[in-house]
Chains A and B, each alone.
Chain A
Amino acid sequence: GESVGLHLPTLSVQEGDNSIINCAYSNSASDYFIWYKQESGKGPQFIIDIRSNMDKRQGQRVTVLLNKTVKHLSLQIAATQPGDSAVYFCAEWAEYGNKLVFGAGTILRVKS
């Protein structure tokens, strides 16, 4: 159903600290997950992905963890920088891979 009226949670971190952004997904049959970054007024950009046969995947300064038991994803950003300030969304492929469904999103604010 619609989620009109809900607003995104905010995570504030100090520049140089590590950030952890969490996401709960809904479909236990989902087997591919993506993290996106969205800057103000722009379309989402791919950050990192993970398949359900993995628990962890690392990229440049980012790590995604997948806990299938509790249907939970997390995105860890190391040494957070001001340019990391954005909204972060997790997304899962639902309905046997026909629909890409987004989670609620988290606003990351980096304090200098």
Chain B
Amino acid sequence: DGGITQSPKYLFRKEGQNVTLSCEQNLNHDAMYWYRQDPGQGLRLIYYSQIVNDFQKGDIAEGYSVSREKKESFPLTVTSAQKNPTAFYLCASSPGRVTEAFFGQGTRLTVV
């Protein structure tokens, strides 16, 4: 089935460690996005990529890094510089600009 796969669903890490969240899509979409969601709040854009080998910072990029080496993959690294990394992370993709975006099921990251 076509879709967006985020893994793992739950992730626990010790404070000070970098951690990478996986996002893979087989929809042949050009654009991919990462959002952060805190409990009881909305979605905030971390990074986005409109095309392979290119990406831009969103509204809350500090403490995060991404790469887009392949069209189908857009991994997000949460670095030790992120002050409060515990959150629900959502990846999305779209065929291009100004179209429907499809979401994965999210990764819940807990830093202890």
Q: Which residues of A approach B to under 8 Å, CB–CB?
A: 1-4, 6-8, 31-32, 34, 36, 41-46, 49, 89, 91, 93, 96-105
Contacts and interface: CB of A to CB of B under 8 A. Distances in A.
Contact of B100 (A31, A46, A103): A46
A3 B42 contact: yes
Central interface residue in B43, B44, B92, by most chain A CB within 10 Å: B43
Contacts of A45: 103
Interface stretch (B12-20, B54-62, B70-78): B54-62
A81 B38 CA distance: 27
Given A43-B104, A43-B106, A100 B41 contact: no
A23 B54 CA distance: 32
Nearest to A100: B101
A7 B40 CA distance: 5
Interface residues of B, number: 31
Given A42-B106, A43-B105, A46-B100, A99 B42 contact: no
Contact of A98 (B43, B60, B97, B102): B97
A49 B100 CA distance: 8
Interface string B82-112: 0000000010101001111111111010000
A43 B90 contact: yes
A47 B83 CA distance: 34
Contacts of B102: 46
Contact of A44 (B59, B98, B103): B103
A101 B101 contact: no
Central interface residue in B35, B41, B42, by most chain A CB within 10 Å: B42
A8 B41 contact: yes
Contact of B41 (A1, A3, A44, A99): A3
B26 to A, nearest CB: 16
B27 interface: no
B97 A97 contact: yes
